[in-house]
Amino acid sequence: MYKLILLSFLSLFLFAQKIEINADLFKANKKDNIGIFTGNVFIKKENDFLQANEVRVIFNEKNVIIKYSAKDISDFKLSVNDKIITGKCKELEYDVLKNIYELKGDVVLKEDKKELNAQLVKVNQKTGEYLVDSNKNNPVKFIFELNNANN
Question: Which CATH number belongs to the domain containing residue 59 in this structure?
Answer: 2.60.450.10
Domain presence at residue 69: yes
Q: Residue 27 has what pLDDT?
A: 95
Residue 10 pLDDT: 32
The answer to whether residue 50 is domain-embedded is yes
Quick check: is 149 in a domain?
Answer: no
Give 19's Cβ-side CA count (13 Å radius). 19
* Structural domain containing residue 93: 2-143
Low-confidence ranges of the chain (pLDDT < 50): 1-16
Whole-angstrom Cα Rg for the chain: 17
Residue 65 falls within a domain, yes or no? yes
Number of folded domains that form the chain? 1
Residue 148 lies in a domain: no
Q: What pLDDT was estimated at residue 95? A: 92
- What's residue 148's pLDDT? 65
Any idea of the CA torsion for 72, 77, 82, 83, to the nearest 10 degrees? Answer: 80
Residue 150 resides in a domain: no
Residue 31 lies in a domain: yes
Q: Where are the alpha helices (DSSP H) in 65-137?
A: none
Q: Looking at the domain assignment, is residue 56 inside a domain?
A: yes
| Residues near 123 by beta carbon (within 8 Å), at least 6 away in sequence | 78, 80, 85, 100, 101, 102, 103, 129, 130
Report which of 74, 80, 113 is spatially closest to residue 94, judged by C-alpha positions.
Answer: 80
